[in-house]
Structure formats: structure tokens, C-alpha cells
């Protein structure tokens, strides 16, 4: 269906992927994405490896309307076309780089032992080399001790960076993602997200991971988008990171939640904190964060909404 104002079309998912299922069309989108200004037909044809101009015109016409805009100055990307080029160049849909477990300049937030990192399926995974970590590693039914979690990072994030730079990049990328879902916004599609709290009633992680829930924290959250397939989760405190009192508490100590140089100290504040289940009906949970002996108590309800903060 075309919009009356400028000829933009609306495609079903099947139609959109059918249009994109051709190397010439993807090459044309990339060429437009790499150009700083609209391209004429001849300029775009020269940039794409197709000899037959009639064949190229056929493929270009398939893109015009939804992915490409034709103007008096030439052809340029529409927003859907730009998103396609961004996804391709990120490597998220085309690349599987190799980055095996490697020691990095980071310490475990629970025991201060050295940490190893690897890239796997779109994420940097972190492992403590000494303690049991944050929760039991069970992706693909593998049993690996010391699992500290994973940080989202497209393949492009590995290019030109050593292992330490990769971890710092992934940490900042993921922190921004966490702050989005903590604000109720899906970092993938911008729709609303919902939080589901889980409480281990027999929690005991004094000797490592709890035998009941196999986690370090008694209270965890699962985040799911109400529109797309985005899923995430972890320590429940993560859902409070955009609360102004929590944010101020960190910055008062010179800690920036998204600055790579602050990884270790921010991780300690975000991950190694005290938990207290104040009531179950209604659910009230208190998290107490400690930075340099200064303490902030944050009480949340069953929807992970902050109902009280107290600075000690």
C-alpha cells in the first residue's frame, strides 16, 4: 500500500524479505548507505557490480517505495532501508567471528579473581576463574563454572579491538540496553517491556551459588518485550538503574554507569549487594548498595517500581 504523500509503501514481513532476497538489491542499499548524498541512476549503477542497466533498473524499482526514495536529486535511503544496511554492516546477520576464552583485565565482582571472556552468538560471555560466578551456565546444556553473565555485542564490535577493548565496548553497549529496559523501553523495537520478578524462598548463596535456584541473587527479573521477541534478565537491581536516587548515588562517588573505565566498581555496586525480602504479600524487597562504605537502601514492589530509598 502506498502513502499518498510521497509514494512510500507498506510491506508485509514476507514481502519485505522477498524484496531483500537478492544480492544486487542489497548491494544497491549498501551503496546508498555509504553515500553522503542522493545518487543518480548512473552513479548507483556504477557502484553496483551489474553490467546490464536494464536488469539493474528492475532490481532498483523493487526497492523504491519502501526501502528507497526517488527524488529530483536522485535515489536515497528511507529509514527501513537504513535499518537494513545498519544490520548488515553490524555483522549481526552475516558474521560469526572467532573469539575463544581469553584472560582480560577485569576482576570478578564477588571474589576479585581474574576473569576470562569469549564471544559467542552475539554476546561476550564472562567467567570467573575461581568462584562459582553469578549463576549456573546452561546455554546449550554446557556446564562451565564461574559464569558471570553475557554482554550483548554485534560482530562489528570485535573489529580492530583487543580482548580488553572488546569487553569494555560490550559492557557499555549492554549498560545502555539495560538502562532502556529499566525505563520500560525495548532496546530492540522501542515498544514497552514488562518485568517478572522471581524470588527464591530457600535462598542460600553463602557457599557460592544457591542449591535451590543455582544463582547468586535471591531476587531476579525476567524482561520481555510486549511487541517483539526481545528477552533479557538478571539481578533484579538492574531494573532500578534509571531511578534518580540510584543514579545519583553512583555519580556522587564519581561513577558513571556507562563509562568503560568504571566497569569494575560499577559492577560491584550493581551485582554484589545485600537483599532482604520484607514481605511477600504484597511483595516488598530491599536492595542495599555499598560504595566506599556509603550505603543506599532501595525498596521495590512486585512490579520492580521503587517505593522508597534511604541513604545511610
**Domain regions of the chain by residue span:** 13-90, 102-238, 240-311
pTM equals: 0.82
Distance from chain centroid for Cα 301: 25
168: Cβ contacts below 8 Å, ≥ 6 apart: 260, 263
Q: What is the pLDDT of residues 271-303, one digit of tens each?
A: 999 999 999 899 999 999 999 999 999 999 999
Q: What is the pLDDT of residues 114-163, one digit of tens each?
A: 999 999 989 999 999 999 999 888 655 466 889 999 999 999 999 999 99
The grid cell for 264 is: 569494575
Which three-class secondary structure state does DSSP give residue 211? coil
CA distances from 20 to 14, 80, 88, 188 (A): 10, 11, 12, 20
Q: How far apart are CA 26 and CA 13, in angstroms?
A: 16
Q: How confident is residue 1, by pLDDT bands cut at 50, 70 and 90?
A: very low
Q: What is the DSSP letter of 280?
A: E
Distance from chain centroid for Cα 286: 26
Residue 159: CB atoms within 10 A of its CB come to 10
Q: Which CATH class is domain 13-90?
A: mainly alpha
Q: Contact at 8 Å (CB) between 173 and 262?
A: no
Q: What is the pLDDT of residues 101-123, one digit of tens each?
A: 999 999 999 999 999 999 998 99
Specify the long-range contacts of residues 146-152, CB closer than 8 Å, at least 24 apart: 146/108, 148/108, 148/109, 148/115, 149/125, 149/234, 150/120, 150/123, 150/124, 150/125, 150/126, 151/123, 151/124, 151/126, 152/122, 152/123, 152/177
Amino acid at each position: 500500500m502506498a502513502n499518498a504523500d510521497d509514494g512510500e509503501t507498506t510491506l508485509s514481513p514476507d514481502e519485505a524479505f522477498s524484496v531483500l532476497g537478492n544480492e544486487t538489491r542489497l548491494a544497491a542499499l549498501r551503496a546508498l548507505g555509504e553515500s553522503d548524498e542522493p545518487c543518480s541512476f548512473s552513479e548507483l549503477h556504477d557502484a553496483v557490480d551489474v553490467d546490464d542497466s536494464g536488469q539493474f533498473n528492475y532490481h532498483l524499482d523493487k526497492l523504491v517505495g519502501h526501502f528507497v526514495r526517488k527524488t529530483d536529486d536522485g535515489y536515497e535511503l528511507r529509514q527501513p532501508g537504513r535499518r537494513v544496511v545498519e544490520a548488515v554492516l553490524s555483522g549481526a546477520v552475516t558474521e560469526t567471528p572467532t573469539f575463544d576464552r581469553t584472560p582480560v583485565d577485569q576482576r570478578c565482582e564477588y571474589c576479585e579473581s581474574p576473569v576470562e571472556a569469549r564471544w559467542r552468538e552475539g554476546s561476550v560471555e564472562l567467567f570467573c576463574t575461581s568462584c562459582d560466578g553469578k549463576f549456573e551456565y546452561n546455554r546449550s546444556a554446557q556446564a562451565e563454572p564461574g559464569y558471570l553473565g553475557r554482554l550483548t555485542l554485534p560482530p562489528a564490535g570485535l573489529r580492530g579491538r583487543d580482548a580488553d577493548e572488546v569487553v569494555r565496548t560490550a559492557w557499555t553497549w549492554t549498560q545502555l540496553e539495560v538502562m532502556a529496559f529499566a525505563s520500560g523501553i525495548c532496546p530492540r523495537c522501542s515498544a514497552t517491556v514488562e518485568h517478572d520478578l522471581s524470588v527464591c524462598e530457600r535462598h542460600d548463596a553463602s557457599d557460592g551459588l544457591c542449591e535451590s535456584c543455582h544463582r547468586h541473587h535471591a531476587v531476579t527479573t525476567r524482561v520481555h518485550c510486549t511487541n517483539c521477541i526481545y528477552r533479557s534478565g538478571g539481578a533484579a537491581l538492574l531494573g532500578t538503574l534509571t531511578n534518580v536516587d540510584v543514579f545519583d548515588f553512583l555519580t556522587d562517588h564519581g561513577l558513571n554507569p556507562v563509562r568503560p573505565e568504571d566497569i569494575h566498581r560499577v559492577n560491584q555496586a550493581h551485582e554484589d549487594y545485600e537483599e532482604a525480602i520484607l514481605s511477600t504479600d504484597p511483595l516488598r524487597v530491599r536492595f542495599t548498595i555499598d560504595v566506599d562504605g556509603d550505603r543506599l537502601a532501595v525498596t521495590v514492589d512486585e512490579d520492580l517500581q521503587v517505593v522508597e530509598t534511604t541513604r545511610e
